[in-house]
C-alpha cells in the first residue's frame, strides 16, 4: 500500500510540476475521506535550490529520506535535458527500485530516471518535444512519444505538465480504487481520466530535404483526397515501384502509405479546428472517404474521435467554410 511519498528536486526544478506532486500526495484531505501520505520534499543537491521561476527553496529533507519512500516522484526541471546528475542520487534511486519502491517522473524528470538506468529496456514517455532526444541519449529506453503516461514495472513516466496529474491520478486509482481517484480529481477540479494522448498536440514535423521524390510529395499533398498507389506514384517519379519505395524511405524516413496517412490526419485536424464543415465532408477532403474511415484512423493515430478533437481544439468566433491550406514541407513520420 502506498503510504510514504518523496519528491526529489534538483536545481532548476519547475514549480508547476512540483506543485502537481504536492497537490496529489502532499495535502491532508482526510476530511473528505481521502488517503493521507507521509510526504516529504527532498533535495538532490545541496540545502537550497533555485526554481526555474527564480525563487529558492530551503528546509528540504536530505537524500536519506528516499530510503523509506514507497514512491519517489521526480518533477521536471530546467536543463535536465543536458546536465549530469549526482551519482549519490542516482544510486539512491536504483536502491529504491531494487527494494520494491516505485518511481514517477513528470516530463523531463525522466532524464534523471534514464541516467540512473531505470529506463533501460522499459517503455517510457516524455514531453513530445524531448522524445527524440531522450531516445538518443538513452538508446535502451523504449520511448513512446504519443501517450500521456506509461507504467512499466515500478517506473511510471509522464509527458509535459498536466500529464503529470494524469499519471499521479492513475497511481492513486491503482492503489486505492476508482472511487478514491475520482473523489480526489473532483477536489482538484480536474478530469479523473483524459482520453487520447500527446499525439493530439504534436506539431507538424520540420522539413527535410527530398532530392528525388520532392515533386511527387508536393503533388501528393495537393491531392490528399485522391486514391493513389505506389505504382502510380512511381510512374509520376519515372521510377520502378521498388526503386521509388526505396528512395521514398531514404528521403522521408517512412513509407508512402504512412506518409500519406499522416498528412491526411494533419489536414483533417486543421479542418476540424478551423472550419464548420461536417465530419463527413472533412473525411472526404482529407481522403478518408467517409466519417467511419476518419474515425478509425483518428482513433489509431491520435487516440480520440474527430468530434472529441473538434470540441477540444476548435477556437471561438466565426469559422470559415474552407480555409486555404498552405503547402507544407515534408517531415519524417514514424
With a pLDDT cut of 90, the percent of the chain lying above it is 63
Q: Are 70 and 147 contained in the same domain?
A: yes
Mean pLDDT of the chain: 87
pLDDT tens track for 13-72:
999 999 999 999 999 999 999 999 999 999 999 999 999 999 999 999 999 999 999 999
Cβ atoms of 147 and 202 closer than 8 Å: no
Strands (E) located in 67-167: 71-74, 102-106, 123-124, 142-143, 149-152, 155-158
Cβ atoms of 224 and 260 closer than 8 Å: yes
Q: Are 276 and 127 contained in the same domain?
A: no
Cβ atoms of 147 and 159 closer than 8 Å: yes
End position of a domain, from candidates 198, 231, 260 = 198
Please tell me the predicted confidence (pLDDT) of residue 317: 45
Cβ neighbours for 323, distance < 8 A, ≥ 6 positions apart? 270, 274, 275
pLDDT tens track for 273-324:
888 999 999 999 999 999 999 999 998 888 889 998 888 777 554 343 334 4
Q: Are 255 and 183 contained in the same domain?
A: no
Q: Are 144 and 290 contained in the same domain?
A: no
Q: Are 182 and 248 contained in the same domain?
A: no
Q: Are 41 and 156 contained in the same domain?
A: yes
Q: Report the DSSP beta bridge partners of residue 9.
A: 43
Residue 207 has pLDDT above 70, yes or no: no
| 144-149: Cβ within 8 A, 24+ apart | 145/198, 145/199, 145/202, 146/197, 146/198, 146/199, 146/202, 146/303, 147/197, 147/198, 147/303, 148/194, 148/196, 148/197, 148/198, 149/125
Residue 186 neighbours by CB distance under 10 Å = 12
SS3 73: strand
Q: Are 114 and 253 contained in the same domain?
A: no
Single out the residue of 259, 265, 274, 283 nearest to residue 325, CA to CA. Answer: 274
Residue 214 has pLDDT above 90, yes or no: no
Please tell me the predicted confidence (pLDDT) of residue 1: 84
Please tell me the predicted confidence (pLDDT) of residue 209: 52
SS3 155: strand
Residue 327 has pLDDT above 70, yes or no: no
End position of a domain, from candidates 166, 198, 230 = 198
**Residue 224 cell numbers, joined:** 490528399
Please tell me the predicted confidence (pLDDT) of residue 196: 61
**What's the domain count of the chain?**
2
pLDDT tens track for 144-193:
887 889 999 999 999 988 899 999 999 998 899 888 988 998 899 887 77
Q: What is the CATH number of the domain that holds 66?
A: 3.40.50.880
**What CA–CA distance (Å, rounded) separates 200 from 113?**
26
Please tell me the predicted confidence (pLDDT) of residue 316: 56
Q: Report the DSSP beta bridge partners of residue 281.
A: none
Tell me, yes or no, whether 92 lies in a domain: yes
Q: Are 20 and 147 contained in the same domain?
A: yes
Single out the residue of 306, 285, 284 nearest to residue 297, CA to CA. Answer: 306
Please tell me the predicted confidence (pLDDT) of residue 274: 84
Tell me, yes or no, whether 300 lies in a domain: yes
Domain of residue 309: give its range.
214-313
**What CA–CA distance (Å, rounded) separates 112 from 120?**
12
Tell me, yes or no, whether 207 lies in a domain: no
SS3 279: helix
CA distances from residue 251 to 204, 208, 267 in whole angstroms, order as listed:
17, 8, 22
pLDDT band (50, 70, 90) for residue 254: confident
Q: What is the CATH number of the domain that holds 268?
A: 1.10.10.60
Tell me, yes or no, whether 208 lies in a domain: no
Please tell me the predicted confidence (pLDDT) of residue 202: 54
Q: Are 126 and 254 contained in the same domain?
A: no
Sheet holding 102-106, edge to edge: 38-43, 4-9, 71-74, 102-106, 155-158, 149-152
Tell me, yes or no, whether 190 lies in a domain: yes
Q: What is the pTM of this model?
A: 0.67
Amino acid at each position: 500500500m502506498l503510504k510514504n511519498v518523496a519528491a526529489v528536486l534538483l536545481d532548476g526544478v519547475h514549480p508547476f510540476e512540483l506543485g502537481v506532486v504536492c497537490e496529489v500526495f502532499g495535502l491532508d484531505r482526510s476530511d473528505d475521506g481521502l488517503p493521507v501520505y507521509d510526504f516529504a520534499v527532498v533535495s538532490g543537491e545541496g540545502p537550497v535550490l533555485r526554481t526555474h521561476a527564480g525563487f529558492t527553496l530551503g528546509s528540504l529533507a536530505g537524500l536519506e529520506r528516499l530510503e523509506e519512500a514507497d514512491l519517489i516522484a521526480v518533477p521536471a526541471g530546467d536543463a535536465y535535458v543536458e546536465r549530469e546528475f549526482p551519482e549519490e542520487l542516482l544510486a539512491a534511486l536504483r536502491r529504491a527500485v531494487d527494494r520494491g519502491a516505485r518511481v514517477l517522473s513528470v516530463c523531463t524528470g525522466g532524464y534523471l530516471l534514464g541516467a540512473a538506468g531505470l529506463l533501460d529496456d522499459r517503455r517510457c514517455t516524455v514531453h513530445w518535444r524531448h522524445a527524440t532526444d531522450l531516445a538518443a541519449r538513452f538508446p535502451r529506453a523504449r520511448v513512446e512519444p504519443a501517450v500521456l503516461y506509461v507504467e512499466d514495472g515500478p517506473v511510471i513516466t509522464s509527458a509535459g505538465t498536466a500529464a503529470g496529474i494524469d499519471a499521479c491520478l492513475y497511481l492513486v486509482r491503482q492503489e486505492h480504487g476508482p472511487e478514491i481517484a475520482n473523489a480526489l480529481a473532483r477536489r482538484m477540479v480536474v478530469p479523473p481520466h483524459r482520453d487520447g494522448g500527446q499525439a493530439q498536440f504534436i506539431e507538424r514535423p520540420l522539413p527535410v530535404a527530398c532530392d528525388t521524390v520532392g515533386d511527387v510529395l508536393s503533388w501528393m499533398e495537393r491531392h490528399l483526397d485522391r486514391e493513389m498507389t505506389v505504382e502510380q506514384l512511381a510512374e509520376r517519379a519515372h521510377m520502378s515501384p521498388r526503386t521509388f519505395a526505396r528512395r521514398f524511405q531514404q528521403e522521408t524516413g517512412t513509407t508512402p502509405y504512412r506518409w500519406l496517412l499522416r498528412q491526411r490526419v494533419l489536414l483533417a485536424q486543421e479542418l476540424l479546428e478551423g472550419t464548420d464543415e461536417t465530419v463527413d465532408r472533412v473525411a472526404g477532403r482529407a481522403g478518408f472517404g467517409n466519417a467511419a474511415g476518419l474515425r478509425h484512423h483518428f482513433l489509431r493515430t491520435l487516440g480520440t474521435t474527430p468530434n472529441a478533437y473538434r470540441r477540444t481544439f476548435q477556437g471561438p468566433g466565426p469559422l470559415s467554410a474552407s480555409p486555404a491550406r498552405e503547402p507544407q514541407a515534408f517531415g519524417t513520420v514514424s
